[in-house]
Amino acid sequence: MNRPAVVLTAAVPVLLVTFILALSVGSEPVSLDSVWHWLTGRGAGDDAVLLVDFHLPRALTAIAAGAGLAVVGLLMQTLFANPLADPYILGVSSGASLGVAVSVLGTGSAAVSFTATFGALGRWGTVAAAGIGALLVLGLVLLAGRWVRTVVSLLVIGVMVGSAVGALVSLLLAFADPARVQKFVLWSLGSVDGTYLGDMVVLLPMVAVGLIAAVSIAPSLNALLLGERYAASMGVHVRRIRVVAIIATALVCGVVTAFCGPIAFLGIAVPHLARVLIGRADHRYLIPACAVLGAIVCLLCAVVATLPGADGVLPLNVVTAVIGAPVVVIVLLRSRALAAGQ
């Protein structure tokens, strides 16, 4: 059995164990016996309501967010030939943040009207506002992409759009009510604890579509590793692959950010962990490895972020930073340009 198969085979039971652990740990913990009885259909008594209403949605959200962000992070690193590219590099999270900022903060007559409309919908209003903001930024980037021929130009456009949108968010924060600012800041710190089982009807299928799109272009991504010209010479429709990768990334980032807020570092760190474990640059193995490892890492982060016996949880981005920052530093130290003193 080859190395990728061994890694993927070993990762599945690890994912199952981590999933069970995530179901058990919480501000109101559930015993592992109760979790196992519930999973095997033997009932969990009074703990069943707690598992279904709180622990299960959190675990499923962590799996979806971790798998989705890790895979689209890999897409962006391959597309832009940049080991430090992340899923939010094209400004999708900035667009989602703008939608939430306008919905939550709302200054000016138009913003107040927007806030009143989406605020009346409660949490779903925030989710809808984030999705609209992400779609608007995606539309701008794709529109600009019709007139550029290189991914470098597209990257610059995405960064500029993200910076401009971020400036608008900062402007809203500067003039908003402090209580509303606090609400926005809490959202921006990231969390997988605010979802419910009904949210999975939207979250899981959207992430699944993004993952399926990534799998469909895996062979073409292998060709892109040697450059766009080489890929084109091999019959790869480079622009089409670029659009599919961007749409898949925007879809996953948009829905994950809408429900969980922007989650940092997973999209950068997990692809590198997958490369080290798989030992190959073949996307046919890297994509499933990123999905499984991303789910495991995000589940572990969610477990660490939960404070047993307490009412609150740590911000998820605090935990992901502790895990992801060392990986990013190692990538920088191992980069060829740095080793050559450039």
Q: pLDDT tens digits, residue range 152-175?
A: 788 888 888 888 888 888 888 888
Distance spanning both ends of the chain, measured CA to CA: 41
φ, ψ of residue 217 in degrees (nearest 5) = -110, 15
Nearest CA among 307, 224, 300 for reference residue 27: 307
Output the pLDDT for position 307: 65
Tell whether the model's pLDDT for residue 185 goes beyond 50.
yes
Residues 243, 145 contacting (CB under 8 angstroms) = yes
Domain ranges of the chain: 3-339
Superfamily of the domain at 3-339: ABC transporter involved in vitamin B12 uptake, BtuC (1.10.3470.10)
Look up residue 99 and give its two tokens.
């939608």
φ, ψ of residue 40 in degrees (nearest 5) = -90, 10
pTM above 0.95, yes or no: no
Tell whether the model's pLDDT for residue 226 goes beyond 80.
yes
pLDDT band for position 299 (50/70/90)? very high
Output the pLDDT for position 312: 66
Output the pLDDT for position 60: 96
Residues 190, 87 contacting (CB under 8 angstroms) = no
- Opening angle at CA 202, ends 198 and 208, nearest 5: 125
Residues near 212 by beta carbon (within 8 Å), at least 6 away in sequence: none
Q: Which residue has the higher pLDDT, 309 or 131?
A: 131
CA pair distance 2, 332, nearest whole angstrom: 29
Using the structure block, give the residue that is written with the tokens 């930073």: 321
Residues near 41 by beta carbon (within 8 Å), at least 6 away in sequence: none
